[in-house]
Amino acid sequence: MLTIARWMMRGTPYAAGGAAVSALIPWLFWLGAAIAALVTLRRGLSPALPVIVAAAVPSGWWWVQGDVIPLASVLLVTLMAVVLRSRMRWSEALIGGALAGAVMIQLGAFLPPGGAGEMLEQLRQASPEVERLLAEFASQGLDTEQLAGVLIGGITGLVVLIAAVASLALARSWQAGLYNPGGFREEFHALRFAPRELAVLVVLAVIGAVLGLPALGMLLWVPLLVAGIALVHGVIGLKGMNGLWLVAFYVLLITTWPMILIVLLLAFIDVFADFRGRLASRD
In the chain, helix, strand, coil percent, each to 5? 85, 0, 15
Question: For residue 130, what pLDDT is reported?
Answer: 59
Question: Does the pLDDT at position 121 exceed 70?
Answer: no
Domain ranges, residue 234: 2-282
Rounded CA separation 46/63 (Å): 24
Tell whether the model's pLDDT for residue 269 goes beyond 90.
Answer: yes
Residue 126: per-residue pLDDT? 63
Q: Could you tell me how many helices (H) and strands (E) the chain has, helices first?
A: 16, 0
Burial class (CB in 10 A: 0-12, 13-18, 19+), 274: middle
pLDDT reported for residue 155: 87
Question: Could you tell me which residues come within 8 angstroms of residue 74 by beta carbon, excluding any fewer than 6 positions away?
Answer: 23, 29, 32, 33, 36, 52, 55, 56, 59
* CA distance linking residue 18 with residue 5, whole number of Å: 10
On the question of pLDDT at 170 being above 80, the answer is: yes
Short-list 68, 283, 276, 98, CA closest to 192: 276
User: Does residue 138 have a pLDDT over 80?
Assistant: no
Please state the domain count of the chain: 1
The mean pLDDT of 6-17, rounded to a whole number, is 95
Burial class (CB in 10 A: 0-12, 13-18, 19+), 275: middle
Q: Which of 105-119, 178-192, 266-280 has the weakest average pLDDT? A: 105-119
Q: What is the pLDDT of residue 122?
A: 65
